[in-house]
Amino acid sequence: MLYSKGDRFEGEFVDGKRSGQGTYTFACGDVYTGSWRGDMRNGGGILRHANGDVYNGEWRDDMRCGTGALHFCDGSSFIGNWIDDSYGQGTFSDATSATKDVVGLTSIQKS
């Protein structure tokens, strides 16, 4: 299905809503592949950003929620728990200094 803003979805529908497995390609170049329920990302999935960042983990109601890993294009990463699209308890690895920090709840930009 092609949307008016140039986004595209290929996958399963139930009662006219994205449900099951599918791939959503955003006009900006970001691509999500994974589980859908009720027209929202729900369950496991991978979001590949056009800039090279990749999130692989759990989703609930279109937000990162549960266990997941965000690997940034610069080589750093956050691996841990997500709550309502923000990262919670987990480990941040800085690619430039090989440091690992345990972090708490902090906002992160939503795609």
The structural domains of the chain, with segments of one domain joined by +, span 8-103
Q: Which of 85, 84, 81 is nearest to 103 (CA)?
A: 81
**Is the pLDDT reported for residue 93 higher than 70?**
yes
Q: What is the rounded CA–CA span in Å between residue 5 and residue 41?
A: 19
pTM score of the predicted model: 0.87
pLDDT tens by residue, 12-61: 999 999 999 999 999 999 999 999 999 999 999 999 999 999 999 999 99
Most confident of 1-5, 37-41, 86-90, 98-102: 37-41
Q: What is the rounded CA–CA span in Å between residue 71 and residue 74?
A: 8
25 touches 17 (CB < 8 A): no
**Is the pLDDT reported for residue 107 higher than 70?**
no
**For residue 64, what are its two tokens?**
């990162």
Q: Which residue has the tokens 């592949």?
A: 33
What's 8-103's CATH class? mainly beta
Helix segments in the chain, DSSP class H:
none
